[in-house]
């Protein structure tokens, strides 16, 4: 499905990004993944195989992002698929959130994503596809989630505006909107397995489908958006959330 195409995934060393890297590779794409954690990148390389390019890049660093785009250009000669996936999640109740917590979330989820797009846009080929990772939270009012939800609503908005802006370059921009998906993002430091299982059962039960999602279920939607099968989609969002925001 993606034979001859080159893909880059930020945050590709874990969770949804890693599952997507596997699926795109299995469908014939050459894949590069980025992240901050060198050990996790190395583990991902072992899982994915030596053909996968791994890049250390913090999305908060413009230098890292320029280097990432340059290395991909050198290795692949250009890009056909960019999955802007790197992100963080934590609660930010209005009364207790600090400025550092505000900056920590917005600098990665909004500013980091925007400048990732700015860095890779020049190497995207005509006919290419950009997929942004937003969240089911972009359209609901979940208490204690003001900043995460606002950051993902900004990402949802980028899919529309940048799709319009990049149309003349032949680049499509769409978004995937995951529900609550089983990935390391939900693991709290020091949390016991038992506590995590109780959390996962409680959160899973909140979705009409009755469980948390799997990273592979998001990767399947990204594959569709990355491929020419979605060639008539511009600025749109695929919601994959077990009915959480829709039912």
Ligand X SMILES: NC(=O)c1ccc[n+]([C@@H]2O[C@H](COP(=O)([O-])OP(=O)(O)OC[C@H]3O[C@@H](n4cnc5c(N)ncnc54)[C@H](OP(=O)(O)O)[C@@H]3O)[C@@H](O)[C@H]2O)c1
* Residues near ligand X, by CB under 6 A: 10-11, 13-17, 35-37, 40, 58-60, 85-89, 108, 112, 133, 135, 178, 180-181, 183-185
CA–CA separation, 210 and 238 (whole Å): 20
- Using the minimum distance from each CB to ligand X, give the nearer residue, 87 or 235: 87
Which residues neighbour 205 within 8 Å (Cβ) at sequence distance 6 or greater?
Answer: 211
- Using the minimum distance from each CB to ligand X, give the nearer residue, 30 or 145: 145
In the Cβ-directed half-sphere of 113, how many Cα atoms lie within 13 Å?
A: 26
- Least Å distance between CB 139 and ligand X? 12
Q: Which two three-digit tokens encode residue 220? A: 């399947």
Q: Which two three-digit tokens encode residue 100? A: 């550092």
- Using the minimum distance from each CB to ligand X, give the nearer residue, 2 or 110: 110
- Using the minimum distance from each CB to ligand X, give the nearer residue, 195 or 216: 216
CA–CA separation, 84 and 143 (whole Å): 26
**Cβ neighbour number for residue 228 with a 10 Å cutoff:** 11
CA–CA separation, 24 and 230 (whole Å): 15
- Least Å distance between CB 48 and ligand X? 13
- Least Å distance between CB 225 and ligand X? 14
Which residues neighbour 169 within 8 Å (Cβ) at sequence distance 6 or greater?
Answer: 121, 124, 126
- Least Å distance between CB 247 and ligand X? 17
Of residues 157, 171, 156, 176, the one with CA closest to residue 221: 176
- Using the minimum distance from each CB to ligand X, give the nearer residue, 169 or 186: 186
In the Cβ-directed half-sphere of 73, how many Cα atoms lie within 13 Å?
A: 13
- Least Å distance between CB 87 and ligand X? 2
- Using the minimum distance from each CB to ligand X, give the nearer residue, 108 or 166: 108
CA–CA separation, 52 and 162 (whole Å): 28
User: Which run of H or of E encompasses 104?
Assistant: helix 99-106
- Using the minimum distance from each CB to ligand X, give the nearer residue, 59 or 123: 59
- Least Å distance between CB 4 and ligand X? 26
- Least Å distance between CB 129 and ligand X? 18
């Amino acid at each position: 499905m993606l034979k001859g195409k080159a893909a880059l995934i930020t945050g590709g060393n874990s969770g949804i990004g890693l599952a997507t890297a596997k699926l795109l590779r299995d469908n014939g794409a050459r894949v590069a993944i980025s992240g901050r954690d060198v050990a996790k990148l190395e583990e991902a390389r072992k899982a994915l195989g030596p053909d996968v390019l791994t890049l250390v890049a913090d999305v908060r660093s413009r230098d890292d992002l320029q280097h990432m785009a340059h290395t991909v250009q050198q290795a692949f000669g250009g890009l056909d698929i960019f999955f802007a996936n790197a992100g963080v999640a934590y609660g930010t109740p209005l009364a207790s959130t600090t400025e550092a917590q505000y900056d920590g979330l917005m600098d990665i989820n909004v500013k980091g994503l925007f400048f990732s797009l700015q860095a890779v846009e020049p190497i995207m080929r005509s006919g290419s596809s950009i997929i942004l990772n937003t969240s089911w939270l972009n359209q609901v009012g979940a208490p204690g989630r003001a900043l995460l939800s606002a950051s993902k609503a900004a990402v949802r908005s980028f899919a529309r505006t940048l799709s319009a802006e990049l149309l003349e370059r032949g680049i499509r921009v769409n978004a995937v909107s995951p529900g609550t998906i089983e990935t390391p993002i939900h693991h709290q430091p020091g949390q016991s397995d038992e506590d995590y299982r109780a959390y996962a059962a409680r959160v899973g039960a909140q979705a009409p489908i009755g469980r948390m999602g799997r990273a592979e279920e998001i990767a399947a939607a990204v594959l569709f958006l990355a491929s020419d099968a979605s060639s008539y989609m511009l600025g749109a969002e695929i919601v994959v959330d077990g009915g959480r925001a829709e039912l």
